[in-house]
Amino acid sequence: MAPRPLSPLVLALGGAAAVLGSVLFILWKTYFGSGRERRWDGGEAWWGAEPAGLPQWDEWDPEDEEDVEPALEELEQREVLVLGLDGSGKSTFLRVLAGKPPLEGHIPTWGFNSVRLPTRNFEVDLLEIGGSQNLRFYWKEFVNEVDVLVFMMVASAARLRLPWARQELHKLLDKDPDLPVVVVANKQDLSEAMSMVELQQELGLQAVDSQREVFLLAASIAPAGTSFENPGTVHIWKLLLELLS
C-alpha cells in the first residue's frame, strides 16, 4: 500500500514546530552571545525573563578620573542545559541559583528561562527549556551546544512518570555520547520518594558506559532566602563547577 500524503494541517503544524524551535535557539544565542562585554558584580545574576535588570558595562574615561577601577577582564562562558519533565523543579532550581523569591503555585515554563552566574574564572549560563510534551521535541537541538546537561526528575512521582523520564533521558544520552550529565532526583524529602538505588536501576543508568560522566544526585530544591542554602543545591552547583573547570 502506498503511503498516504501528509495532510495540510500536519504540514502546517510541522512548519510551526520548526519555526518555534528556531526561535528558541536564536533567542538563547542572542541572550547568551551578547553578554561578553558586560561587567558583573559577584552577587548578581540574570533571570531570563527580566532583561532590563542586566548589569550594564560601566563607561568611563581614565583621563577624567585617576582612581577609577579598571575594567574587568572578559570571562569565558560555560553553558549548562537544564531539562526534565514538566513539574520536576527546573524553574525553581534556576530561581534558587539566581537568588529569586519563590513563585506561588506551579507555573509551567512555556519556552525557556535562563540565568547567568559569574564565578572567579568564567561565567555560567544555565538554560531551562519547558518540559511539556510539545517542547521535548526541541531538547535534542540544544544538546550539542552546551558543556553539561542537568536532567531533573521528581523522585516521589517517578513510578508514575518514570517510563517517559527514562525515555527522554536516554534520547539525550544517545544524542551526545561525550556530554557530562547530572541527573537530579528532586523532592527526596517526601516519604514516597524512591531510593537512589531504585532510581539508578529504573533509569537504566547501570547500563551506561562506565567511561562516561553520568551522576545521580538527590535533592530537595526549594528557594531559601536570597541565596541557595539547601545542601542538595550546593552539591549540584559544586559538581557543575568541577565539570565546567
Q: Which residues are annotated as a binding site for GTP?
A: 84-91, 131, 186-189
What does the buried/exposed string (b/e) look like for 9-39 if buried means 16 or more CB atoms within 10 Å of the residue's CB? eeeeeeeeeeeebeebeeebeebbeebeebe
- 3-state class (DSSP) for residue 225: coil
User: Binding-site residues for Mg(2+), please?
Assistant: 91, 109
Q: What share of the chain is helix, strand, coil (3-state, %, to 5)?
A: 35, 20, 45
Q: Contact 104/220 with Cβ under 8 angstroms?
A: no
Distance from C-alpha of 95 to C-alpha of 128, rounded to nearest angstrom: 11
Q: Which residues are annotated as a binding site?
A: 84-91, 109, 131, 186-189
Q: Are 124 and 93 in contact (CB under 8 A)?
A: no
Strand partners, 149: 81, 181
Please give the angle made by the CA atoms of 185, 230 and 233, to the nearest 5 degrees: 50
At a CB cut-off of 8 Å and minimum separation 6, what does 214 contact? Answer: 173, 180, 181, 183, 205, 208
φ/ψ of 217, rounded to 5, equals: -120, 145
3-state secondary structure labels for all residues of 118-166: ECCCEEEEEEEECCCHHHHCCCHHHHCCCCEEEEEEEHHHHHHHHHHHH
